[in-house]
């Protein structure tokens, strides 16, 4: 891919070209059902096939597009730097359009026909759960990079995004200390929102705070008059918000215009959908995001000149924002490179083994992850001990750092005892099985 | 804790949302018989046009809103001329093949549904290609009104007021003006209306334009309050259809009444169960029951009651 | 809004007449069968077969039948009866309530008051399709055959409930032949002429072997020989199959050709009843017809 | 006709079968049609040898959903958005029952229960509407609203309290870990159709591994298509078409129009549920997206583009549109798809297959060649 920016016009023509090849349909090149010795085309013998399925249209395009762009950036950098173990990376990318049905079909095609060596796919938890049966059946090495509710202990899945416990664990204690113990939780009314709300209860118990109210809002809701009134009625010290999606963004706008100025801790706002760039100030004033990464994270490897942000915008001049998931796509590609070079082969079981031997970025062998310091991939749980930041937006939506510290993934390792180096598993654990206060 | 004023404000909020969501559709679907699945995208055009008028052209918000509605009205007329009435394709057809290419979509419910679904796919994706996955939102004007420990955004109350104004204006235009009578005559029986000298082509065009303009106005009014994304139209679609159908034959009055009923149900249940999910499900179930037990919709029911009372039974 | 026009035009008439509780019987009307008007349902047992010649049993009886649309009274406490095998014509100026009466009998309209008896049972609240099953069949004012289906398919629909296999085919062919549509079996019904559609619809209604066939202006808009054809058809059905008829028709010659007796409806009530000669010679009838009355 | 000879007898039987399959209510009644049909089915049978059977089977499953709407809308005039409701109910029921009874008998029972529960749901919704005098656009809107109710409700069933026995409904993330489809009786005979490969010896190609689920879906689709052809050409089918054309007139021929609509709606619901069961079995997963508005609109588009009054049109259009929708890529994909829909419905309002049929047979109405399909060995007296 040429070095200059991947402007929209080029993308459209590429789309057109893909359209034509696409018409040949998924039955085209594939050598059909015969599972005999794969008569690989020559190119795949000495290239690394990386499959990237990220939403560039549909409901999750806003947060999915940066993920796609970051993967392409990492791949281009590695290729320019000699590739993996001397082999150039051949990216295989299609737009699933935020449609779980397309994810399933494209995952099938990427595994059985394109025969990708590794797969990055999916923003929402629903998408992960939709394709995990296909991943498990084919024992396909799979990176899931979105921050999520946590608890997935799966032999071939690497959930390298931060978990709800890590994110809420970074922002909630600070807010309790800073503003007081009374918490009001508002969350999107689906799995992620409900499990995150359970984690707020667990963390409140650990930090002797108290959840005075909890409210779940359907993804399709966009008027928050009653929610704002309930918050005012409960008079909490701060609010924990795990709202998700386009419709929920309007909560922040409506909260500001209703004059509700209680501090709000969040694990989803600003870092994923960059609301502070899209809404008019002071909508996001006094919002505290507990995340592993945002474009404004002040580390040398991120905002320093020639850093990750600069390189990202060099490649995509008209990109909107470098969000949390983009960084995870980026550094996890380097983790994969490390693992393949350690394993010396593309065979997925060996690469998984190398990944489980503990890959860390920020050492002399591998560049530092944009979120800063060294971060390690924990072999047993396939999760990452992230460098967690708490960042606050002021009246003009400028982002300032509040705290930052390393928070390891504890739920799967300590509480559940998931150790994939010892025994294979493909289950998702939830806090309610282990903490009674999460009832 | 159900606070009277809270409940009232929430009711106004739901009422304004349902009525404004259904405003344009009441005319395009209610009066003209076109099931417009791209209704949400007409609202999107109004919202984007208003936002750009403020951010790019620097116009004050009220002026930008008028611009937003007009742009959508013109867009609506363009859609009507090309797809709905097939005037342009037939004009071309006459000159090339010597016959009309397509038949108008009026009163062809299923076909208009498929056509407008295709149109909505094109509009959402084009908006994404041209303007990206999101554009900057304008701020919400007017502060808030505080009462006790609560406060409510003044703009939301203004929205409720405007929604009533829109209804009154539409009611006046469509029932008390000669233009209104011409529209209803054309829709009731185009042939007879044409025979009576009504320029039905122009009436169809203008009526569709007004319907689109109203949808654009809804987009303009909600622009400061919603996040500007190509898929913002989806949240209006179901409420709009339900309100129009539950409203019944006398379209404008019906939309107001169904907006009231559905708004009340949604606000009350949300308050009682403290869950917006059940508030939304209650609204949908209320709509299903209304459609079942009031076959002619609310105004159909009123019509029957009035005529039965006259029978003196 | 739509019923606006109807209401204003009718309001002028509605007034006084219906106020009296006891429906004053227009003098001179005699009930053709001479039996007491109020039927005692359980006394009369239903005849086994269809009595062809026997003219004494009342097949249909309406009691104080009322239908109001808002303020307008379409039928005003009508007492009306038809005997088995009787060919009754229904005439009267427009808006006299003829079509309304038919719709009340067949059940597509619910009465505002009064009762309807058929073949000894009360059918006031019976579903329309149940009434058809018990022997009442109707041809609508606007010819309504299934345009997209062929003539044969149209003819099969009513018959398939009654017979299968060879018997069904015989009846289908018979219905098509009687409707004068032999050779048109595979033609799409919408391609038929107006007259042919009328004939087909009459054939379909008749093929249900009804006891009572209601025809709403069967010859409206037809040529003279088409009218005689249909008149002949009705008479043959009446004589050979013993089907009783209620036929609404303005054309008095047509009525003269077929009617056993005639009922004149005026302002929603029975105005005169009798043979065609009596009706034609009655000055009162001519007056209300020719609009002498303001 | 003269006395039948031996060959005549089976020709008579064949003609009788064909007689039941043909009639004015279906497009394509000529021998040429049946030859074309046989060729098409053979092509589909051979497809996995050439193309990827595993992914193509999705289109066969969705074609069943298209057929269900074609029956309900095309043949009895009820435009329903609710087919995806029964599709989803069927799929979820299959998931719940099979997770709780994961052995072959249990899974087979789960499949049947899914279809039955889907049919019952259709019957209940149908009774609620038709016996309440609800007609035309109101039916469409009620079914549209019912999909929204289910989507909103199912999306929030994520908590642990929303489990039925072992099966967690899973809320927005969908129901995980549906057992692999294995039909039969435990211990006696059973075969696993999903995530399994079938060795076929094909002369000239050697042994080839194909996806058995593809053939299960193909068999279900062909059986459903032929079954519906028999239904719509039967006496009941004639009443359905009469109800579609003019329900008031049909009532006056003594038919209980409400009951006819309810029966058709229930059969359509069961067929949609069957499609949902196969969908959930194939993907080993089902989520509330199946109740989403855009998914509920797809069947209407398939049937409109394919041809409202043609079962074959629904099948061909479903497979064609879904194949295209899935394979076309790039940013312009949705724009192209939207534009195509617009052009198709404006240019060919009647749908493709009736248009083609019209072109082939030259006359507007596909007239059946057999003069009378009831019984070939007729002896005409008159």
Helix, strand and coil in chain A, % to nearest 5? 40, 20, 40
pLDDT tens digits for A142-189? 999 999 988 899 999 999 999 999 999 999 999 999 999 999 999 998
Consecutive H or E run containing D207: strand D206-210
Spell out the domain ranges in chain D.
56-293
Write the residue in C144, C165, C188 that is nearest to D375 by C-beta.
C165
Q: What pLDDT score does C7 carry? A: 28
d(CA B77, CA B96) in angstroms, rounded, equals 24
Find chain D residues with C-beta within 8 A of C129's C-beta: 251-257
Cβ within 8 Å, pair C144-D375: no
Decide if pLDDT at B246 tops 70.
yes
From B285's Cα to the closest Cα of chain C, the distance in A is 30
Burial of C23 (0-12, 13-18, 19+ CB in 10 A): middle
Low-confidence ranges of chain D (pLDDT < 70): 1-11, 362-382
The reply to whether residue B3 touches residue A229, judged by beta carbons under 8 angstroms, is: yes
> What pLDDT, on the 0 to 100 scale, is given for residue C119?
87
A-contacting residues of B 180-239, CB under 8 Å? 224-232, 234-235
Q: Angle D263-D265-D266 (CA atoms, 0-180°, nearest 5)?
A: 65
Domain positions in chain B: 4-306
- With contact defined as 3+ CB pairs under 8 Å, the chains touching C are B, D
Query: Span C65-94, mean pLDDT?
Result: 86
Mean of per-residue pLDDT scores for chain A: 84
Residue C69 at interface with chain B, using a CB cutoff of 8 Å: yes
Nearest to C158 among D241, D253, D380 (CB): D253
> Among partner residues D248, D254, D379, which is closest to C132 by beta-carbon distance?
D254
* Cα gap B207→A401, rounded to integer Å: 55
- Are A31 and A73 spatial neighbours (Cβ–Cβ below 8 Å)? no
Report the chain C residue with the minimal C-alpha distance to residue D374.
Answer: C165
Question: Cβ separation of A220 and B280 shorter than 8 Å?
Answer: yes
Q: Do residue A25 and residue D323 have CB atoms under 8 angstroms apart?
A: yes
Partner chains of B (3+ C-beta pairs under 8 Å)? A, C, D
Q: Averaged over B269-289, what is the pLDDT?
A: 87
Vertex D41 angle, CA D37 and D46, to 5° = 145
By CA distance, what is A226's nearest residue in B? B10
Give Cα separations from D313 to C119, D63, D355 (angstroms).
49, 10, 10
Nearest residue on chain B to D151, judged by CA atoms?
A: B281
Q: Which residues contact C225 (CB under 8 A, 6 or more apart)?
A: none
Got the DSSP string for A403-432? EEEEE---IIIIII---TTTS--EEE--GG
Location of structure tokens 């009267």: C92
What is the per-residue pLDDT across B287-299, written as a single tens digit (0 to 9) for each? 899 888 887 778 8
Query: Biggest alpha carbon distance in chain D?
Result: 74
Considering only the top CATH level, what class is B4-306?
A: mainly alpha
Instruction: Spell out the domains of chain C, with CATH numbers in brackets.
Output: 56-142+212-289 (3.40.50.300)
Residue B312 has pLDDT above 80, yes or no: no
- Pick among C108, C149, C178, C205 to test the D interface (most D CBs inside 10 A): C149
Q: For each of chain A's 439 residues, which pLDDT tens digit applies?
A: 233 332 322 223 333 333 333 333 333 333 333 333 333 333 446 889 999 999 998 888 899 999 999 999 999 999 998 888 889 999 999 999 888 888 999 999 999 889 999 999 999 988 998 999 899 989 999 999 999 988 899 999 999 999 999 999 999 999 999 999 999 999 998 888 988 999 999 999 999 999 999 998 888 788 888 889 889 989 999 999 999 988 898 899 888 888 888 999 999 999 999 999 988 888 899 999 999 999 998 888 888 888 899 999 999 998 989 999 999 999 999 999 989 988 988 999 999 999 998 888 877 666 788 887 788 888 889 999 998 999 999 999 999 999 888 888 888 888 888 888 888 888 888 888 888 877 6
Identify the pLDDT of residue C164: 85
Chain B touched by A164 (CB under 8 Å): no
CB contact under 8 A, A22 and D329: yes
Retrieve residue C233's tokens.
């058809």
- Shortest distance, CA B313 to any CA of chain C (angstroms): 8
Nearest by Cα to A332 from A103, A157, A168, A199: A157
pLDDT at D9 (0 to 100): 53
Cβ of residue C1 closer than 8 Å to a chain B Cβ: yes
Fold: same for A45-163+300-387 and A164-296+388-407+429-438: yes
CATH topology of domain A164-296+388-407+429-438: Rossmann fold (3.40.50)
To probe the interface with D, which of B35, B39, B108, B114 has the most D CB atoms within 10 Å? B114
Identify which of D271, D115, D109, D272 has the alpha carbon closest to the alpha carbon of residue D183. D109
Q: Which chains touch A (3 or more CB pairs under 8 A)?
A: B, D
Domain ranges of chain A: 45-163+300-387, 164-296+388-407+429-438
Asked whether D273 and D115 are in contact (CB, 8 A), the reply is yes
**H helices present in chain B, as ranges:** 4-25, 39-55, 61-79, 87-96, 109-131, 154-176, 178-188, 190-195, 200-222, 234-247, 251-273, 276-293, 297-311
- Tokens 């009232």 — which residue? B8
At which residue do the structure tokens 């390690």 appear?
Answer: A376
Position A214 scores a pLDDT of 92
**Does the CB of D42 have a partner CB in chain B at under 8 Å?**
no
Q: Is C120 helix (H, G, I), strand (E, B) or coil?
A: coil
Alpha-carbon distance B52 to B47, whole Å?
Answer: 9
CATH number of the domain located at residue range(s) A45-163+300-387 in this protein: 3.40.50.2300
Nearest-Cα residue of chain D relative to residue A106:
D326
Q: Quick one: pLDDT at residue D11?
A: 66
Q: Is B250 on the interface with C (CB under 8 A)?
A: yes
DSSP sequence for A363-390: SSSSPPPTT-S-EEEETTTTEEEEEEEE
Does the beta carbon of B149 lie under 8 angstroms from any beta carbon of chain C?
no
How many CB pairs (< 8 A) connect B and D? 124
For residue B202, the distance in angstroms to the closest alpha carbon of chain C comes to 24
Chain B residues touching A221 at Cβ < 8 A: 276, 280
């Amino acid at each position: 891919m040429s070095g200059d920016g991947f402007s929209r016009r080029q993308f459209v023509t590429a789309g057109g070209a893909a359209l034509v090849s696409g018409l040949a349909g998924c039955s085209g090149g594939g050598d059909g059902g015969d599972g005999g010795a794969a008569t690989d085309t020559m190119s795949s013998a000495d290239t690394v096939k990386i499959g990237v399925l990220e939403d560039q249209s549909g409901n999750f395009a806003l947060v999915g597009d940066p993920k796609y762009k970051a993967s392409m950036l990492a791949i281009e950098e590695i290729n320019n730097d000699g590739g993996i173990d001397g082999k150039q990376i051949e990216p295989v990318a299609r737009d699933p359009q935020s449609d779980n049905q397309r994810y399933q079909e494209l995952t099938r095609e990427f595994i059985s026909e394109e025969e990708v060596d590794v797969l990055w796919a999916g923003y929402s938890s629903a998408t992960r759960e939709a394709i995990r049966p296909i991943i498990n059946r084919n024992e396909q090495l799979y990176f899931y990079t979105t921050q999520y509710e946590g608890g997935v202990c799966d032999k071939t899945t690497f959930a390298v995004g931060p978990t709800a416990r890590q994110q809420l664990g970074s922002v909630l204690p600070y807010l309790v200390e800073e503003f007081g113990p009374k918490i009001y939780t508002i969350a999107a009314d689906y799995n992620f929102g409900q499990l995150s709300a359970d984690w707020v209860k667990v963390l409140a118990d650990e930090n002797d705070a108290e959840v005075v109210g909890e409210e779940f809002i359907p993804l399709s809701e966009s008027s928050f008059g009653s929610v704002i009134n309930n918050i005012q009625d409960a008079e909490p010290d701060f609010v924990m918000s795990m709202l998700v999606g386009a419709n929920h963004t309007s909560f922040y706008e409506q909260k500001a215009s209703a004059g509700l100025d209680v501090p709000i801790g969040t694990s989803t706002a600003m870092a994923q959908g960059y609301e502070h760039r899209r809404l008019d100030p002071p909508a996001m004033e006094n919002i505290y995001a507990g995340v592993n990464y945002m474009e404004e994270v002040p580390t040398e490897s991120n905002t320093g000149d020639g850093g990750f942000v600069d390189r990202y915008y060099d490649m995509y001049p008209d990109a909107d924002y470098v969000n949390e998931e983009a960084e995870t796509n980026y550094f996890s590609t380097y983790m994969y490179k490390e693992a393949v070079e350690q394993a010396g082969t593309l065979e997925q079981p060996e690469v998984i083994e190398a990944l489980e031997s503990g890959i860390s970025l920020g050492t002399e062998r591998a560049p530092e992850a944009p979120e800063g310091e060294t971060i390690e991939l924990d072999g047993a749980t396939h999760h990452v001990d992230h460098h967690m930041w708490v960042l606050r937006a002021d009246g003009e939506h400028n982002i300032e750092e509040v705290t930052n510290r390393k928070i390891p993934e504890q739920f799967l390792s300590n509480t559940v005892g998931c150790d994939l180096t010892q025994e294979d598993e493909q289950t998702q654990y939830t806090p309610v099985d282990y903490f009674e206060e999460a009832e | 804790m159900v606070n009277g004023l809270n409940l009232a404000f929430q009711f106004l909020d739901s009422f304004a949302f349902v009525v404004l969501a259904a405003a344009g559709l009441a005319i395009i679907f209610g009066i003209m018989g076109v099931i417009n699945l791209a209704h949400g995208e007409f609202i999107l055009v109004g919202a984007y046009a208003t936002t750009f008028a403020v951010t790019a052209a620097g116009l004050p918000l009220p002026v930008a809103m008028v611009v937003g509605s007009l742009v959508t009205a013109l867009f609506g007329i363009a859609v009507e001329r090309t797809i709905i009435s097939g005037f342009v394709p037939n004009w071309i057809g006459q000159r090339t093949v010597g016959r009309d290419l397509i038949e108008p979509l009026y009163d062809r419910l299923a076909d208009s549904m498929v056509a407008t679904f295709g149109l909505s796919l094109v509009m959402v994706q084009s908006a994404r290609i041209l303007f990206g996955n999101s554009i900057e939102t304008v701020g919400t004007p007017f502060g808030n009104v505080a009462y006790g420990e609560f406060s409510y955004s003044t703009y939301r109350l203004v929205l409720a007021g405007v929604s009533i104004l829109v209804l009154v204006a539409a009611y006046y235009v469509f029932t008390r003006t000669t233009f209104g009578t011409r529209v209803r005559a054309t829709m009731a029986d185009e042939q007879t209306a044409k025979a009576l000298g009504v320029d039905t082509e122009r009436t169809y065009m203008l009526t569709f334009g007004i319907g689109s303009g109203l949808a654009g106005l809804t987009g303009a009014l909600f622009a400061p309050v919603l996040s500007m994304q190509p898929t913002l139209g989806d949240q209006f679609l179901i409420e709009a259809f339900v309100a129009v159908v539950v409203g019944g034959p006398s379209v404008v009055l019906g939309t107001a009444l169904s907006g009231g009923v559905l708004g009340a149900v949604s606000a009350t249940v949300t308050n009682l169960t403290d869950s917006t999910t059940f508030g939304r499900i209650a609204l949908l179930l209320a709509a299903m029951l209304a459609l079942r037990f009031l076959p002619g919709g609310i105004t159909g029911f009123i019509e029957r009651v009035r005529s039965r009372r006259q029978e003196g039974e | 809004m739509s019923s606006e026009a109807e209401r204003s035009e009718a309001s002028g008439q509605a007034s006084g007449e219906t106020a009296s509780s006891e429906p004053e019987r227009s003098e001179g009307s005699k009930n053709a069968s001479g039996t007491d008007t109020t039927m005692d349902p359980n006394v009369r047992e239903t005849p086994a077969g269809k009595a062809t010649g026997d003219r004494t049993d009342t097949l249909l009886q309406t009691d104080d039948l009322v239908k109001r649309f808002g303020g307008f009274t379409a039928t005003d406490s009508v007492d009306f009866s038809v005997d088995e095998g009787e060919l009754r014509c229904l005439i009267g100026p427009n808006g006299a309530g003829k079509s309304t009466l038919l719709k009340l009998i067949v059940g597509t309209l619910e009465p505002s008051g009064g009762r309807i008896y058929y073949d000894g049972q009360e059918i006031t609240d019976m579903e329309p399709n149940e009434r058809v099953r018990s022997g009442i069949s109707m041809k609508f004012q606007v010819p309504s055959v299934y345009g997209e289906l062929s003539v044969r398919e149209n003819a099969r629909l009513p018959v398939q409930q009654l017979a299968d296999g060879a018997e069904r085919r015989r009846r289908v062919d018979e219905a098509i032949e009687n409707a004068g549509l032999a050779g048109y079996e595979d033609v799409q019904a919408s391609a038929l002429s107006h007259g042919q559609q009328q004939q087909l619809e009459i054939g379909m209604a008749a093929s249900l072997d009804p006891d009572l066939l209601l025809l709403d202006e069967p010859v409206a808009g037809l040529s003279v020989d088409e009218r005689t054809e249909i008149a002949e058809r009705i008479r043959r059905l009446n004589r050979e199959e013993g089907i009783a008829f209620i036929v609404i028709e303005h054309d008095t010659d047509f009525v003269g050709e077929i009617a056993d007796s005639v009922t004149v409806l005026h302002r929603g009530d029975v105005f005169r009843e009798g043979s065609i000669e009596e009706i034609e010679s009655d000055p009162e009838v001519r007056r209300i017809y020719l609009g002498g009355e303001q | 006709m003269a006395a039948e000879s031996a060959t005549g007898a089976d020709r008579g039987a064949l003609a009788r079968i064909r007689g039941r399959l043909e009639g004015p209510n279906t497009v394509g009644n000529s021998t040429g049609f049946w030859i074309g049909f046989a060729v098409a089915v053979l092509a589909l049978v051979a497809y996995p040898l050439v193309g990827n059977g595993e992914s193509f089977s999705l289109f066969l499953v969705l074609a069943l959903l298209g057929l269900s709407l074609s029956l309900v809308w095309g043949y009895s005039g009820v435009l329903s958005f609710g087919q995806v409701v029964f599709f989803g109910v069927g799929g979820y029921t299959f998931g719940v029952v099979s997770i709780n009874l994961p052995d072959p008998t249990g899974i087979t029972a789960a499949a049947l229960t899914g279809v039955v529960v889907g049919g019952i749901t259709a019957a209940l919704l149908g009774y609620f509407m038709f016996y309440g005098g609800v007609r035309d656009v109101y039916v469409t809107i009620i079914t549209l609203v019912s999909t929204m109710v289910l989507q909103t409700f199912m999306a929030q069933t994520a908590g642990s309290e929303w489990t039925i026995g072992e099966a967690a409904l899973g809320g927005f993330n969908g129901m995980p870990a549906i057992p692999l489809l294995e039909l039969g009786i435990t211990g006696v005979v059973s075969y696993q159709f999903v995530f399994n490969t079938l060795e076929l010896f094909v002369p000239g190609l050697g042994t080839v591994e194909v996806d058995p689920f593809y053939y299960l879906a193909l068999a279900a689709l062909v059986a459903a298509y032929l079954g519906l052809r028999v239904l719509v050409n039967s006496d009941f089918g004639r009443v359905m078409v009469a109800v579609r054309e003019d329900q008031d007139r049909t009532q006056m021929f003594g038919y209980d129009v409400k009951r006819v609509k309810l029966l058709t709606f229930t059969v359509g619901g069961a067929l949609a549920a069957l499609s949902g069961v196969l969908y959930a079995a194939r993907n080993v997963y089902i989520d509330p997206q199946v109740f989403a508005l855009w998914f509920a609109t797809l069947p209407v588009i398939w049937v409109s583009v394919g041809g409202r009054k043609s079962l074959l049109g629904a099948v061909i259009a479903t497979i064609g549109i879904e194949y295209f929708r899935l394979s076309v890529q790039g940013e312009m994909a949705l724009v192209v798809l939207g534009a195509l829909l617009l052009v198709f419905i404006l240019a060919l309002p009647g749908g493709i297959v009736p248009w083609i049929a019209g072109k082939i047979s030259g006359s507007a109405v596909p007239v059946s060649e057999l003069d009378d399909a009831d019984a070939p060995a007729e002896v005409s007296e008159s």
